[in-house]
Copies of this chain bind each other. A is one copy, B any other.
Amino acid sequence: MTLIILKIGGSVITEKGSISRAREAEIERISHEIAAFRSDSDSHLILVHGAGSFGHPQALKYRLSEGFDAEGAYLTHASVNVLNSKVVEALNNAGAHALPVHPLSSCLLENGMLIDFQLGQIKVMLERGIIPVLHGDVVMDRTKGASVLSGDRIIPYLALSLNASKIGAGSDVDGVLDEKETVIRKITPFGFMDMKKNIKGSGSPDVTGGMLGKVSELLELAGKGVSSRIFNASRKGMVSRFLYGEDVGTLIADK
């Protein structure tokens, strides 16, 4: 059985520059694309979504990247929990079975590194045809108290532990862009060192690293045999095209 891990960026499903405002129509559209694929395929699917304007403003305000703050941790998690409930509800309304898995409840960090992640419940969900829906979250950290764990950093752990066959990172740009705003069709570890300086960064404030961080994480994964695609999930039909295996966005592969 193949496992697909799909990430949907916070910039796709929330309003940038606002506080805790969701793009409900986009969440519904993407949920329908996923549900249609599910009814047509028996691939296992995990969805990981970003926090966007649910969580990032709170994490910045309470400076969660600098030190422990119990109130900030609560407000950040509470906000992203609202977004997660919207996503899970939209998937179920669209006819896909989905259940939330909150990193705050299931993960443990040590100095920012993911050292423990309960996966047994995710495996049973997959066996039963349920889409586990994870998200960027505040997570307890043995050294720091609590840290932000981005959706992008959850994916490599899940992909390697559960032997994923395909990763898709749905962003609000058409892929990884060069300095001329052209989509780079393919990135490999070999070409990355030269290419790095020409890659366009993510403009919005993001406590979790932007496009270069995403590419680095996915290249490391490619080196371990799991290739991925960065594509534009804000364009209608693109999530569907990725799920059906079409050549969309930027391919990140070992060779």
> What residues make up the interface of A, taking CB atoms closer than 8 Å to B?
68, 70-71, 73-74, 77-78, 81, 85, 88-89, 92, 97-102, 104-108, 116, 118, 120-121, 124-125, 128-130, 139-142, 145-146
B108 touches A106 (CB 8 A): no
Q: Which residues of B have CB within 8 Å of A74?
A: 88, 92, 97-99
Set B71, B100, B129, B145: member contacting A105, Cβ < 8 A: B100
Q: Which residues of B have CB within 8 Å of A139?
A: 121
B130 touches A70 (CB 8 A): yes
A120 touches B124 (CB 8 A): no
CB distance from A132 to the nearest CB of B (A): 9
Given the complex of chains A and B, what is the CA–CA distance between A70 and B91 in angstroms? 12
Q: Which residues of B have CB within 8 Å of A118?
A: 105-106, 108, 116, 118
Q: Which residues of B have CB within 8 Å of A129?
A: 70
Q: Which residues of B have CB within 8 Å of A77?
A: 99-100
Q: Which residues of B have CB within 8 Å of A130?
A: 70, 73
B128 touches A145 (CB 8 A): yes
A140 touches B125 (CB 8 A): yes
Knowing A70-B128, A97-B70, the reply to whether A121 touches B92 (Cβ < 8 A) is no
Given the complex of chains A and B, what is the CA–CA distance between A247 and B142 in angstroms? 37
A108 touches B85 (CB 8 A): no
Set B78, B120, B128, B142: member contacting A108, Cβ < 8 A: B120
CB distance from A146 to the nearest CB of B (A): 8
Given the complex of chains A and B, what is the CA–CA distance between A100 and B79 in angstroms? 13
Q: Which residues of B have CB within 8 Å of A97?
A: 70-71, 74
